Amino acid sequence: MSPTPPPSAGTKLRVGFYKRSCPRAEKIVRAAVWKALSKSPVIGAGLIRLHFHDCFVQGCDASILLDPTAANPQPEKLSPPNFPSLRGFEVIDAAKKAVEKVCPGKVSCADIIAFASRDASSILSSGRINFRMPAGRLDGRVSLSGEALQFLPPPFFNLSQLIGSFKAKNLDVDDLVVLSGAHTIGVSHCSSFTDRLPPNPSNMNPAFATMLQRKCPTSPNITNDPTVVQDIVTPNRLDTRYYTNLLKHNVVFTSDAALLTSRRTTRKVLQNAFIARRWETKFATAMVKMAAIEIKTAANGEIRNMCRVVNN
């Protein structure tokens, strides 16, 4: 089991947080994730991405889960970076419902997202990425579409923009390169990368570009925007294939290709590509570090009764 770094200063996160208040919590969440991934492995990628998109906006507080209301018709989940591509909401709902039956009012939706992303990482890596996730998060009450646009790095960012986006969340360049490895799983809409396909200039492998052109319309739109797997070799396995694909220029996003635009990040890409166990350990550590971003306190957080709505 990979070492777990301490949570960031000022938080009250700890491993085994629910040992007394809800000892079955983590097992219940894992069961919900197992059930979902046994039917559709791509949901695992969705759960990891859900965690990332939650933590980068308002911190790790389950703000990504809040549904639109009359008072707030545009929450994060309806923002362009999230809708309609973000997946896994129903898994969190199922886990929350099961936990509430056993321990009503004890387990936050934010912690369920964090546990689910950890469990998805373990399942998709065949147990090679297996780590302890500190808990004790509270759920936020604020969710704004505009903040998702402000804080989530889009697929067209260059390296300096990516570094700045991660730095704003107290994540460093190593975290950026390591967490980008999650692009070895899941799918992407064609609209996210057609700017890199011919006749547009890019350093994409021509054979890879041709394959993508066969799958994507020339001008994707809301009614015609297919998805393609991000890793054509092992699309449902969380492994180091992303980095070998990157070195061969077989990646879809500008933000992926950007990792080869400096000596510093290229060196990290090479290390991750060829020292698998090192990347697995670093990925576990970076996931825990990300999971401690901007934790809510009792003054601005709660434990929601239902993940999609704030408590009355």
Does some domain include residue 7?
no
Does some domain include residue 92?
yes
Distance between CA 239 and CA 179 in Å, rounded?
12
Distance between CA 236 and CA 44 in Å, rounded?
8
Does some domain include residue 6?
no
User: For residue 12, what pLDDT is reported?
Assistant: 83
Q: DSSP of 121-146, one letter per residue? A: HHHHTTTSS-B---B---EES---HH
Residue 296 and residue 208 share a domain: no
* Residue whose pair of structure tokens reads 């704030």 in the numeric block: 310
Residue range of the domain that includes 226: 165-281
Residue 146 and residue 171 share a domain: no
Residue 116 and residue 35 share a domain: yes
Residue 177 and residue 124 share a domain: no
Question: Phi and psi for 139 in degrees, rounded to 5?
Answer: -85, 140
Distance between CA 155 and CA 286 in Å, rounded?
20
Domains in the chain, number: 2
Distance between CA 34 and CA 116 in Å, rounded?
10
Q: Summarize pLDDT for 63-97 with one digit per residue, the tens.
A: 999 999 999 999 999 999 999 889 999 999 999 99
Distance between CA 109 and CA 221 in Å, rounded?
33
User: For residue 212, what pLDDT is reported?
Assistant: 97
Q: Summarize pLDDT for 295-307 with one digit per residue, the tens.
A: 999 999 999 999 9
The CATH number assigned to the domain holding 172 equals 1.10.420.10
* Residue whose pair of structure tokens reads 């041709």 in the numeric block: 210
Distance of CA 70 to CAs 61, 273, 302, Å? 21, 48, 21
Residue 196 and residue 128 share a domain: no
Residue 173 and residue 135 share a domain: no
CA dihedral in degrees (151, 290, 42, 270; nearest 10)?
A: 100
User: For residue 5, what pLDDT is reported?
Assistant: 38
Beta bridge partner(s), residue 2: 131
Does some domain include residue 20?
no
The catalytic residue among 51, 53, 183, 189 is: 53
Alpha helices, H only, the chain: 25-39, 42-55, 89-102, 109-124, 145-151, 159-167, 173-180, 206-215, 241-247, 254-257, 263-274, 276-290
**Residue among 62, 151, 166 nearest 114 (CA):** 62
Does some domain include residue 271?
yes
User: For residue 8, what pLDDT is reported?
Assistant: 38
Residue 207 and residue 141 share a domain: no
Residue 148 and residue 293 share a domain: yes
* Residue whose pair of structure tokens reads 């879809």 in the numeric block: 252
User: For residue 88, what pLDDT is reported?
Assistant: 96
Does some domain include residue 308?
no
User: For residue 152, what pLDDT is reported?
Assistant: 98
Distance between CA 52 and CA 62 in Å, rounded?
11
Residue 47 and residue 147 share a domain: yes
The CATH number assigned to the domain holding 93 equals 1.10.520.10
Residue 113 and residue 182 share a domain: no
Residue 169 and residue 277 share a domain: yes
Does some domain include residue 86?
yes
Given a cut of 50, the residues of the chain with pLDDT beneath it are: 1-10
User: For residue 9, what pLDDT is reported?
Assistant: 39
Is 51 among the catalytic positions?
Answer: no
Does some domain include residue 312?
no
Its pTM stands at 0.94
Residue 191 and residue 129 share a domain: no
